[in-house]
Each structure stands twice: as structure tokens, then as C-alpha cells.
Amino acid sequence: MTDTAPHTAPGATREFFTAWKLYQDVIDHNYMVHRQIVEQLRAWTRRHGRDGMSILDLGCGDAYTVRSAMLDTLHHVRYTGVDLAAPALHFADRAFADSDWTIDLREGDLAQAVNVLDTRFDLVVAGHALHHLDNPAKQRTLTRIRKLLTDTGHAFLYDLITRDNEPRDAYLQRLLADADANWTHLSADQLAAIRQHVENYDFPVDLTTWRHHATDAGFADPDLLFRDELEHYAVLLLTPR
């Protein structure tokens, strides 16, 4: 492993997330704090959500977070989800089937999708996805997200986030040591697949770096909504300046 983020590797990322069952197991056992993330998005929804609003979900996977936080309270939402992994999008499609939401699911690279989308959104969600991008791409993507938001919109960002100035290698070893010790519902093969993916394709950065990216993109200093005890993950709310 190195501390230098390489170019993104959408092909390899797509391959890993194609085995979607593994990621569903991770969600089911709350290994990546989805329960707390959903609570935060529910709280946002109580304050800012409205029927008919528009949502862009980047790296949406099967849309678990947005569905869990919003589907039972909001109607006629216009939802656009972008992801590299076709199987995840199929799950999302099926899960929305009985809702009154308008669903637009796009298979592709989120860093490219943000350049071609030309409508504005009330909420952009980027969940556990932007750490796959290198730093310049993180910055470019946040800048595009800002431009895609309505003036009263928000970006809800949750991700793997290191301690301040923590080297990537040290962070990943902490994360993987926790997984090996505590993600007990996963098999040895599943844990090995996660290790291989994380060591090759995950490039998390610290909160200070995210704060710089956000303010350079035209957001106010982000609100830190949640940080887990182990300091593996964080949820940030970004408000246009």
C-alpha cells in the first residue's frame, strides 16, 4: 500500500461490488455504521425533506440508505442513482418498484456522471463512495456537486475518513484489524476479499482535507453530523455558501 492515491480504477471497483451479497451482509450487521447514517438522514428529512423533492445518489449501490431514511415518509420524490455495479442497481430498481417515486438509475462512473447531469437537485448523497477517487477527482466531484445543487440544497456525505494527518496505511490497518476481529458474521474468504479491495482501491482522507475540498468547491465549512467511536467513518452535511 502507498499513501499516494493512484488514478481511480472503476473496472476493478465494479468487479468487487458486483458480488453485492457481501456488501449486503456488511450493511445487515451494521459494520459500516449504516444504522447511524440512516438516523442522520432521517433527521435531515424531518427538517428539510418535502414531497416531490429531487435527490441525486452518487455510488448509490442498492439505495439502502435513502430508501431506509425516506421512502416511508416522502412521496413523489425524483430520485437519480448512479453506480458502476449493475447488480446493485437491479436491487435498487426492485426495491423502489412499489413506491410512487420517479426513479432514474444510471450505470456508470459518478465522476463522469456529475459532468453530464444538467438538472438541479435538492439533495445530493455521496455514501461510502468518494474514497474510491483520487484527491483531484474528489475535489472536482465536490465542485460539480455544488453546481448541481439548488440554492437551498444540501450534500449529505458519509465515508471512510481517517484521523487528522493519519497516513492511509495506518488507517487501513486499523480498519482491517477491526474487521478481522469483529466482523464475525463474515467468512474468511469474504474478509480476504474485503482486504484485497480496501488495500488496492480505497483512498480515504481526513476531515481537514474534506473541509478544504468543500470550501474550495463553494460550500460553507461542513457540519460534522456523526463520527463513530473508532474514528473509521463520518457523516458530513455540506451547505452552499
Residues that bind ligand SAM (CB under 6 A): 8, 10, 13, 17, 23, 59-61, 64-65, 82-85, 88, 109-111, 127-129, 132
Q: Which is nearer to ligand SAM, 183 or 215 (CB)?
A: 183
Q: Which is nearer to ligand SAM, 109 or 206 (CB)?
A: 109
Q: Are 86 and 18 in contact (CB under 8 A)?
A: yes
Q: Which is nearer to ligand SAM, 13 or 80 (CB)?
A: 13
Q: How far is the CB of 114 from ligand SAM (least distance, A)?
A: 10
Distance from the first to the final alpha carbon of the chain? 37
**How far from 80 is each of 107, 128, 137, CA to CA, in Å?**
11, 17, 21
Q: Which is nearer to ligand SAM, 23 or 210 (CB)?
A: 23
Rounded Cα–Cα distance for residues 130 and 143 (Å): 13
Rounded Cα–Cα distance for residues 222 and 238 (Å): 5
Q: How far is the CB of 119 from ligand SAM (least distance, A)?
A: 18
**How far from 54 is each of 70, 175, 222, CA to CA, in Å?**
12, 34, 21
Q: How far is the CB of 181 from ligand SAM (least distance, A)?
A: 20
Q: Which is nearer to ligand SAM, 35 or 241 (CB)?
A: 35
Backbone CA torsion sign across 55, 80, 212, 210 = positive
Q: Are 143 and 218 in contact (CB under 8 A)?
A: yes
Q: How far is the CB of 86 from ligand SAM (least distance, A)?
A: 9
Q: How far is the CB of 135 from ligand SAM (least distance, A)?
A: 14
126 phi and psi angles, rounded to 5 deg: -130, 105
Q: How far is the CB of 26 from ligand SAM (least distance, A)?
A: 8
Q: Which three cell numbers stand for residue 87?
A: 447488480
CA angle 143, 155, 108 (to 5 degrees): 70
Q: Which is nearer to ligand SAM, 84 or 217 (CB)?
A: 84
